[in-house]
Chains A and B, each alone.
Chain A
């Protein structure tokens, strides 16, 4: 079992690299590979919690375009921000997104993921995935755009709610009330809170369900 998974990871990684070098990978394959790789990491019991997180993070960094995400989240505030502010924001925002995304996917580690389809139009794509959980199916869609030969994720839509749109409204309100620096301070505070916590066992779902 474990061996198979390791095989899968190795193969998956190798394939991903090959794909980068030679042919183009379709959006749905891009997402498929990533989700499989992350799920494999989550299920790999030989990994320490920290090691696992680091590996997942590294993987996400090769798929999620945090620059684009940051820009879309800040929208009009992006244009007003200075270069330093933008860089700081990207740095903090990527950490928050990673945490949220990993937290979500961790909760569904043992469920099956289906790939009902993709829609490609020019350099943008929407990949539909469906998490088949015992009590309900949860649609998770990925928005990607093409940069060079590779597809990059710039938004994740869970049950019709775009992560980026959601952050955008909240952040805009915080900027309005407390200014850009207030927002950065709040983000930093949140990250400190998240990292100082001992790595929680994936909630209490595993324990009792």
Chain B
């Protein structure tokens, strides 16, 4: 078991950077412009509507100390199971250094490439990831989403010149969906398991770590560059993708470092919420 897990982790560390793994501790998909494909229908908060009919606040200015009971209804605290916090914090620290001393300087250099080109590169890698979304939407019974993604893939690969452009969205208004193996597992009731901070990859949990590995094997990037185990093409492709995404990111992680009382907790809780929201959709 331990050997297998080690192998699995080693494989993950060496071979894959998921699209959302912008870099190191910076992943924080929740707040990252670059982190994922936002979808139009991603508005959360439907829970809010279910609880209407709760006592209304009166028109008076509530005193600071006056309780507002109607606001309590969505006071859920997402309890993140984090038995490995000590180790996780260590890796978080490592990722933080990687981010500021290695990845970010590279990304900053990459910003000299004109932005439209970098957006195209991002589109290109996103397009290669289409099978991940198609397969997982199908597995969750979301057939229309799978169909949309299939259409997107066909359109963008052809009209969009190998995925460099996104005519599906620009001209036909078909926005990207976002499904992955972690969400599929969650959809069928698999809990997140312990929170994990992965070296280089950033926040995850046991379920999503497994999911991320499976996703990497559905991503065409792997089949284009990962065939020959003896060269670094695949690693290069992944690194390019990561640096490029990071160059488009608006310093999300810097913002968190600046604002949060405890960046580790902030990233952890944001990740948990972000993933739970994805699973529920």
Residues of A within 8 A of B (CB): 67-68, 70-72, 75, 78-79, 83, 86-87, 90, 96, 99-100, 103-104, 107-108, 116-117, 119, 121-124, 126, 128, 130, 133-139, 141, 143, 145-149, 154, 157-162, 165-166, 168-174, 183, 186-187, 190, 194, 203-205, 208-209
Chain B window 55-96, contacts with chain A (Cβ cutoff 8 Å), 1 for yes, 0 for no: 011011111110110111001111110000000000000000
> Would you list which residues of chain B between 97 and 115 have a CB under 8 Å from chain A?
108, 111-112, 115
Does B146 sit at the interface, judged by CB under 8 A? no
B34, A165: Cβ atoms closer than 8 Å: no
CB <8 Å contact, B261 and A130: no
Residues of A within 8 A of B40 (CB): 116, 130, 137, 139
B151 at the interface (CB under 8 A from A): no
A83 contacts B274, C-beta separation under 8 Å: no
What are 10 of the A-B contact pairs (CB < 8 Å)? Answer: A107-B33, A122-B54, A136-B37, A138-B33, A160-B44, A170-B262, A174-B261, A174-B265, A203-B251, A208-B108
A169 near B80: Cβ-Cβ < 8 Å: yes
Q: Given known contacts A124-B70, A135-B119, A209-B247, what 19 new A-B pairs fall within 8 Å (CB)?
A: A86-B65, A87-B64, A133-B250, A134-B115, A139-B39, A141-B43, A145-B57, A147-B61, A159-B29, A160-B42, A160-B274, A161-B273, A165-B77, A168-B77, A170-B260, A170-B266, A203-B255, A205-B251, A208-B112
Cβ contact within 8 Å between A169 and B269: yes
Among B32, B39, B115, B258, chain A packs the most CB atoms within 10 A around the CB of B258
Q: Please judge, given known A-B contacts A161-B277, A169-B80, whether A67 and B62 are in contact too, CB under 8 Å.
A: yes
Given contacts A139-B38, A170-B265, contact A71 B78 (CB under 8 A): no
Q: How far is the CA of A169 from the CA of B250 in the complex (A)?
A: 25
Q: Within 8 Å CB of B14, what residues of A? A: none
> Does any Cβ of A come within 8 Å of B45's Cβ?
yes
Residues in chain A near residue B175, CB distance under 8 A = 137
- Once A135-B33, A208-B108 are accepted as A-B contacts, the answer to whether A72 and B75 lie under 8 Å apart by CB is yes
Among residues of B, the one whose C-beta sits closest to the C-beta of A131 is B33
Interchain CB contact under 8 A, A154 and B278: no
Name the residue of chain A whose CB is nearest to the CB of B123. Answer: A135
Q: In the docked arrangement, what's the CA distance between A174 and B262, Å? A: 9
Among A134, A146, A170, which residue has its beta carbon within 8 angstroms of that of B269? A170
Q: Which of A135, A148, A172, A204 is the most central at the interface, judged by chain B CB atoms within 10 Å of its CB? A: A135
The CA-CA distance from A135 to B37 in the complex, in Å, is 9
CA of A159 to CA of B79 in the docked complex: distance in angstroms? 19
Instruction: State whether the Cβ of B52 lies closer than 8 Å to any Cβ in chain A.
Output: yes
User: A173: which B residues are within 8 A, CB to CB?
Assistant: 262, 265
By a CB distance below 8 angstroms, the chain A residues around B53 are 122
Choice from A79, A134, A159, A190 contacting B261 with Cβ under 8 Å: A190
Known contacts: A135-B248, A148-B59, A160-B30. The answer to whether A208 contacts B111 by CB under 8 A is yes
In the complex formed, the residue of B with least CB distance to A133 is B33
Give Cα A108 to B38, complex, Å: 15
B48 beta carbon closer than 8 Å to chain A: yes
A56 to chain B, nearest CB (A): 16
Partner of A170, one of B62, B67, B122, B261: B261
In the complex the two chains form, is B38's CB within 8 Å of A141's CB?
A: no
Q: Are B61 and A159 in contact (CB under 8 A)?
A: no
B276 nearest CB neighbor, chain A only = A160
Instruction: Judge if B213 is at the interface, Cβ distance under 8 Å.
Output: no
| B240 contacts chain A at the CB level, 8 A cutoff | no
The answer to whether B64 and A86 touch across the interface, beta carbons within 8 angstroms, is: yes
Closest residue of chain A to B272 (Cβ to Cβ) is A169
Residues in A whose Cβ lies below 8 Å from that of B63: 67
CB distance from B271 to the nearest CB of A (A): 9
Q: Contact partner of B77 among A86, A160, A169, CB < 8 A? A: A169
Which of A72, A87, A108, A139 is B71 in contact with, Cβ under 8 Å? A72
B115–A145 contact, CB under 8 A?
Answer: no
